[in-house]
Every structure is written in structure tokens, then in C-alpha cells.
Amino acid sequence: MARYTKEIVKSGVSYGLPNGNSVSYSVEDLTKLVQNTKGLMASGYRVPAPWEHNRDITLSTGFSLKKGKVTIGPNGLLDDPQKNAGYWEDLYVKDGSLYGVLEVGNPDIQKKIGNEVRDVSLYARENYKDPLGNEHGNVLMHVCLTGKPIAMGTSNFEAQEVCLSQTMLSDPQNDRDVSGDGPDQGPETELGKLIKELERVGLKL
């Protein structure tokens, strides 16, 4: 898995919407959005990162947007997992902006993050009630990857560095030293496997 930090939206900026309206967020709005969404995540919901906005996502009114028209739909959240690039594992507000931590497992998608893919767009739902009947208020249902963001001017994705502690570099079974000083640093040791996995996702030691 690879993780990336991304600025999603800034507070205090009026963003124009395709329908001619506009939307802006205060720091308080973003803080509450994070709080509510984390509560939803704690109940088991995973915030996806689909490729563009998924138009089969059900609205809180019990209707879903599909092909640009409002039609009665199931309480689905993401109609096709193959449209998904990863999941937002953390959300927070910093310096007046909403940030998210995106986790991506597919190596082919990892190569695009920060390169071909540099922008995102959020989709929030007001007064959301989950399939179990719990009410969560205004929450993020997804933050999609897009080439046509409404929230323009946000920073690009930043790959998170992997920190290897000394505890990760020791074999818990027999306390062998696999830090690189002894003979147990070959490809079949735990360290060797870890190095292989990091190189697979594009991280070099």
C-alpha cells in the first residue's frame, strides 16, 4: 500500500458550480464535516476515491443521480468497485484547508497519483442516514480523482514517507539481527521481504 496526502478544498473561497450556484466552506464547516465523516468511518464506512463522480450514488432524499436525471435508486454508495482508485483513510483540517490521506494498493494507479492525477473533488451529503438507520449529519461520501476540479488551486498529492523503526528490523521469533549488519539480510528474511514490497510500490531504501 502507498499513502498520499492531498489538499481537498480551501476554506473562505467561493467555488462556482456547474449549475451556476456557488459553494464555500468556513473552517468550522470543514471541522464539522471531518468530525461527522470520521464518526461514519468509525461505524464501518470506507470513504472511496472513485474515478470522477459516481452518478449512481444515492442522495439522502432516497433518490440517485444517474445519467444526469433524478431516478429512484437503491441505497447504494459506490455502484462499481472497479471505478474506485483507493480509500481515504484519514481527514483533517490544517491551515484553513481540508486534507485527506489516500491509500492506494494498485501499483499502476500509484504511478498516476501526482502525475496524470493531481486534483480531486468532494461529494458531501447532508443529514445522511446510513443503511443501519444511524444519522451522521453532513458527511463526505466520496472524494473523487478528477481532471476538472471545482476546488481549483489546491496543492498536488504528496507521497508519505515510510519510516522503518528498529523494531521492524528485528525478527521477533529468535531476535536475529536483520538490520543489515549480519548474514540474515538476504531476500528470504523478513527485512528482505519488506524491501521487496517497498520496491514493488516504487519506494527505494
List the pLDDT tens digit at each of the 205 positions of the chain. Answer: 999 999 999 999 999 887 788 889 999 999 999 999 999 999 999 999 988 775 554 433 333 334 343 333 333 355 567 778 999 999 999 999 999 999 999 999 999 999 999 999 998 888 888 888 889 999 998 899 998 898 999 999 999 976 544 444 444 444 444 444 544 444 456 677 667 666 665 565 5
**Global pTM?**
0.70
Using alpha carbons, select from 82, 80, 85, 115 the residue that is nearest to residue 100: 85
Note the pLDDT tens digit of each residue in 45-55: 999 998 877 55
- Count Cα atoms within 13 angstroms, Cβ side, for 56: 10
Q: Which CA distances in Å does 6 have to 85, 99, 187?
A: 14, 6, 34
Assigned C-alpha cell, 114: 501526482
Which residues are CB-neighbours of 53 under 8 A, at least 6 positions away? 121, 123, 142, 144, 146
CA angle 116, 143, 30 (to 5 degrees): 125
